[in-house]
Structure 1
Amino acid sequence: MRVAFVGKGGSGKTTLSALFTRHLARSGAPVLAIDGDINQHLAEALGHDEDHLDAPPLGAHLPQIKEYLRGTNPRIASREAMIKTTPPGRGSRLLRLLGDDALHARHVRRVGDVPLMVTGEFDESDLGVACYHSKLGGVELYLNHLVDGPGEYVVVDMTAGADAFASGLFTRFDITFLVAEPTRKGVSVYRQYRDHAREFGIRIAVIGNKVTGEDDLLFLKEQVGDDLLTHLVHSPWVRAAEQGRAEGGLDTLEPHNRHALTILRETVDAHPRDWPALHRHAVEFHLRNARAWADEATGLDLAAQVDPEFVPGPTALT
Structure 2
Amino acid sequence: MKIAICGKGGSGKSTVAALLAREYARRNRAVLVVDTDESNLGLHRLLGTGAPPDLMGYFGGKRAVTEKIMAAMPDPSSVDLIGERWSIDKIPQGYVASENGVRLVAIGKIHDAGEGCACPMGMLARQFLDHLDLGDDDVVIADTEAGIEHFGRGVDQGADVILMVVDPSFESLRLAEKVSDMAARIGVPLCCMLNRTDPISAARLRERIPDSVRIVCEISQDPGILAAGLDGRVLDLHHPAITALADLLDGTQKGRA
Q: TM-score, normalised by structure 1?
A: 0.68
If you compute each CA radius of gyration, which structure gives the higher value, 1 or 2? 1
* 1:61 aligned residue: 58
Q: Mean Cα displacement is larger for which, 36-45 or 25-34? A: 36-45
Unaligned stretches of 5+ residues in structure 1: 65-79, 252-257, 276-318
CA contact (8 A) 2:18 2:43 kept: yes
Within the alignment, does 1:198 sit opposite 2:184 as a pair? yes
Q: CA deviation at 1:259?
A: 1.8
- Letter in structure 2 aligned against 1:191: E
Q: Secondary structure at the match of 2:168?
A: coil
Partners in 1 of 2:111 and 2:250 — Cα distance? 37
Q: Secondary structure at the match of 1:124?
A: coil
Q: Secondary structure at the match of 1:190?
A: helix
Partners in 2 of 1:31 and 1:7 — Cα distance? 21
Q: CA deviation at 1:264?
A: 1.8
Q: CA deviation at 1:83?
A: 5.6
Moved over 6 A (4+): 245-248
Q: CA deviation at 1:246?
A: 7.0
**Alignment deviations for residues 48-96 of structure 1 (CA, whole Å, 9 cap, x no partner):** 4xxx62x2212333358xxxxxxxxxxxxxxx769667579xxx63222
| RMSD between aligned residues | 3.0
**Alignment deviations for residues 257-301 of structure 1 (CA, whole Å, 9 cap, x no partner):** x221122212221134769xxxxxxxxxxxxxxxxxxxxxxxxxx
CA contact (8 A) 2:217 2:244 kept: yes
- Letter in structure 1 aligned against 2:134: D
Partners in 2 of 1:42 and 1:186 — Cα distance? 21
Alignment of 1:51-200 (within 5 A): 53=51, 55-63=52-60, 93-97=84-88, 99=89, 101=90, 103-124=91-112, 127=114, 130-200=116-186
Alignment of 1:220-235 (within 5 A): 220-224=205-209, 225=211, 227-235=214-222
**Alignment deviations for residues 207-247 of structure 1 (CA, whole Å, 9 cap, x no partner):** 1000111x222212112235111110111111232244979
Higher relative contact order (CA closer than 8 Å, sequence separation 6+): 2
Distance 1:248 1:198, change over 3 A: closer
CA contact (8 A) 1:211 1:234 kept: yes
- Letter in structure 1 aligned against 2:53: P
Partners in 1 of 2:54 and 2:185 — Cα distance? 32
Partners in 1 of 2:139 and 2:248 — Cα distance? 13
Q: CA deviation at 1:20?
A: 0.7
Percent identity over the alignment is 24
Partners in 2 of 1:247 and 1:135 — Cα distance? 26
Q: TM-score, normalised by structure 2?
A: 0.83
Unaligned stretches of 5+ residues in structure 2: 62-70
* 1:260 aligned residue: 241
- Letter in structure 2 aligned against 1:168: G
CA contact (8 A) 1:230 1:260 kept: yes
* 2:44 aligned residue: 43
**Alignment deviations for residues 27-64 of structure 1 (CA, whole Å, 9 cap, x no partner):** 2110001111122221122234xxx62x2212333358
CA contact (8 A) 2:47 2:234 kept: no
Question: What is the total number of aligned residue pairs between the two structures?
Answer: 243
- Letter in structure 1 aligned against 2:94: R
Q: Mean Cα displacement is larger for which, 202-211 or 33-42? A: 33-42
CA contact (8 A) 2:107 2:124 kept: yes
- Letter in structure 1 aligned against 2:218: H
